[in-house]
Structure 1
Amino acid sequence: MRTTSRALLPISLLGVALALAGCSPAADGDSSSPSSSPTSEATAPTSEPTEEDTDATSEPTEGAAGGTLLDGSQEVEIESYAGTYLAPTVEGGVALVEDPAANDVPAQWIIGPVEGGGDGYQLTTVALTDGEPSCLTLADGADPSLGTCDPADASQVFSVATLDSPEQVSISNEAGTLAVDAESGSLTVHPDGAEVSSTFTLAAS
C-alpha cells in the first residue's frame, strides 16, 4: 500500500500540470500580447486653408466713388435721384435726359482731379466740341452750364462727396450744390446739399 501511494502522487501532479496547461491563455488562442494588441492613436485632424479661404479678402469696390470713378480713368454716367441723366446738349449746354444712350451727343463724363494739383474735381464731357471737351460750370446766379475747361476757373472746380453708398455723391462748389428742380425736373443749384434732389449716382459706362 505504501509503494502504491508514492507511485500515484507523481501521476496526479502530472495530471494537474496538463490541466493547467490546457486552461492557459495561449491554449485558448488568445493572442493578446504587447506586440499584437491594437493601438488607438488619436490622429488630430489637420485644417489646411483652402483656396477659397485665402482668396476671401476684403477689397474696395472697383469703380466706387473715391476710387477709379473719380480718378479720371473711367467714363461715367451721372444719374439723378429722379432717374434722369446729366448730359450735354447739341446747343452746348447741359440738361437732364431720360436715356443717355438715346441722347444726341455722348452723355458720359470723366470726373478727375483738377490738373496741376489742388483739391477738387472737374467734370469733363466725353463729347467734343471742335475737338475739345467741355467742363461743367456752376457760377453764382447762373444756371448749370458747360464751358471751356479751365482748371483755374473756380466755377468748374467741384467737391464730390460720397453719401450713403460709395456710388452716391453730391456735387458742389462755391456757388452751391447741383440738384434737380422738383417742379420742372431740370438742373438747378441749391445753397446746400440737404435736399434729396441733390443726390446723384455714378456708374461706369
Structure 2
Amino acid sequence: MTQSSFTRHVPRRTIIKGAAWSLPVIAAAAAVPAHAASTGPASQAHLSAQVGGSITADDNAKTATGTLNGGVVITNVKNGPWETGALTGKYIGSGQWTSFAITKPNGQPFVSGETIVAGGVTWTVTQVVTDADGTWEIDFAGPSQSVSADTIFSLPAAVFSGAWTGTPTTRNPVAGTVSVAAANINNGVSVSGAVSHP
C-alpha cells in the first residue's frame, strides 16, 4: 500500500456517509488469502541460484568444458512450513559460443518430457534448445515444495562443452549459466549465476 502526501480536508459527516459504501470493499480486501499478502513469509524469503561447477578453457583451441551443479537456494525462511510455488531451473550456454552441448554427466542427452530425481525433487525436462539463434538451453520444472527452514533444491547435474570465436572478455565471457525461480518467492522472478571464462 502506498501513502500519499496529499492532504484533503473533508468534513466528518462526509467520512461517515462514505463509510457505508466503502464497507463492502474493506470486507472484500480482508477475504484475500493470507498467502497472497505481500508481507507473508514467502515475501521475506531470499532466492538465489546455486552455481556449483567448473569451466576449463583452452584459449588457443577456443574450446571449453565444464560442469554445472545448479540449485534453487531459499534462505531467510520464517514462519514455516509454507509452499515455494512451482520451481524452475535452466542451464544456458551464454556468450560467444559457436557450438555448445549440455548433457548428463554420463554423456547422455537430456530429453524433453523425461523426469529426473535430484535434490529430493522430481524435475521434468520441459525444453531442450540446441543452437536456436545461438541459444543452448535445458529447462527444468519441479512441483511446489514445503519449506520450514533454509534449503537448497538441487537441479540435475550436467556437463557442457563448446567452442567459440573471437576473444571472450570479462564483460562478454563464455559461460555455463544457471537460472532459477520459485513462483511464490520474489514474485516468481528468476535469478541466475554462471561459471565463466575469463
Q: So what's the TM-score if we normalise by structure 2? A: 0.25
Structure having the larger proportion of residues in strand = 2
Q: So what's the TM-score if we normalise by structure 1? A: 0.25
Higher RCO, Cα 8 Å, sep 6+ = 2
Of the two, which has the highest radius of gyration?
1
